[in-house]
Amino acid sequence: MPLVSGLDVINDCTSRGLVAGAFNTTNIETTMGIIAAVERTNVPTFIQVAPTNVALSGYEYIYDMVSRRLADTNVPVALHLDHGKTLESVEGALAAEFTSIMIDASEEPYEENLRISQIARELTPGSLALEAELGSIGGKEDDHGPEQELSTNPSQVADFVGAVRPDMLAVSVGNVHGFAPDARIDFDLLAQVRDASAVPLVIHGGSGLPVEQLGRLSEFNVVKVNVASDLRNAMIKTFGEAYVANPNEVSLIRVSKDAVAAITDVVERRIHMLNPRIS
């Protein structure tokens, strides 16, 4: 089926009590691995790419690759701009027909975050989903490197959501980007944010969180959880192990297929961790 709007993924998941994974792609192998897992689990999903990755491939290439690969599937998938830090990146993704957009001005002071996010709302058609971020998620992965961490202030949430009118809100409640084995969700804070937000929430940093925490997020109106580092490591590890096993290895196809299988396993496991009630 064609790409669907991010709104369809949000609505489908909230009505069925599901949490959508949001998996970052970079190349065809990652895309194939993600979509194979989506087909196995039948859970609506976001496939996403950050502007730094676009420097490698361009928005149009990502759109063509993902939409072509999805043609034979029956599971709703949206193509999402991850961490659009500038309005130019929002415009670039929209021009390439992405179906879901994140504006991330969370490192700016509150009023500036509000102003930039409002412009992104004006740029993004109401038929597409918009994610904004309040509070700043710490940690570092290759796509973005802010070291600053600032928890979401629950007292700002209602005002921000009311003024920006995003369709989902990324929050900083103990989650950290990248491999962060000590990261833990502060569920008391998450509950305060949930109670103040008129829209569902997004948790970034899904690779670092323990299984038992991932399985509770649906109780807190979380609709989307971002996972990137796990997938990338699965691919790099596959190639690294193949080279160590045989420095003269030249079967790129075989190793690439192994990488697709490794990524599929990671994505499938994450979807089940997020949705422990599905079989």
Q: Which residues are catalytic?
A: 82
Q: How far is CA 244 from CA 161, 240, 260, in A?
A: 50, 6, 19
Contact 79, 47 (CB under 8 A): yes
The smaller minimum CB distance to Zn ion, of residues 36 and 266, is found at: 266
User: Per-residue string for binding with Zn ion, 56-85, x by CB under 5 A?
Assistant: ------------------------------
Measured from the CB of residue 94, what is the shortest distance to Zn ion in angstroms?
20
Single-letter amino acid, residue 170:
A
Within a 10 A sphere around the Cβ of 250, how many other Cβ atoms?
A: 8
Residues 191-210 that bind Zn ion (CB under 5 A): 204
Site size for Zn ion, by CB under 5 A?
1
CA-to-CA separations, 255 to 38, 145, 235, 265, in angstroms, rounded? 22, 30, 9, 15
Q: And the tokens for 145?
A: 């490197």
Of 45 and 256, nearer to Zn ion (C-beta) is: 45
CB of 249 to Zn ion, least distance (A): 34
Which residue lies nearer to Zn ion by CB, 135 or 258?
A: 135
C-beta closer to Zn ion: residue 140 or 257: 140
**Closest approach of Cβ 266 to Zn ion, in Å?**
17
Instruction: Work out how close the CB of 177 gets to Zn ion at its nearest, in angstroms, rounded to a whole number.
Output: 5
DSSP string of 189-256, one letter each residue: HHHHHHHH-SS-EEE--GGGS-HHHHTTGGGGTEEEEEE-HHHHHHHHHHHHHHHHH-TT---HHHHH
Q: How far is 218 from 223, CA to CA, in rounded Å? A: 7
- DSSP state letter for 27: S
Q: Which residue is nearest to Zn ion (CB)?
A: 204
Footprint of Zn ion (CB under 5 A): 204
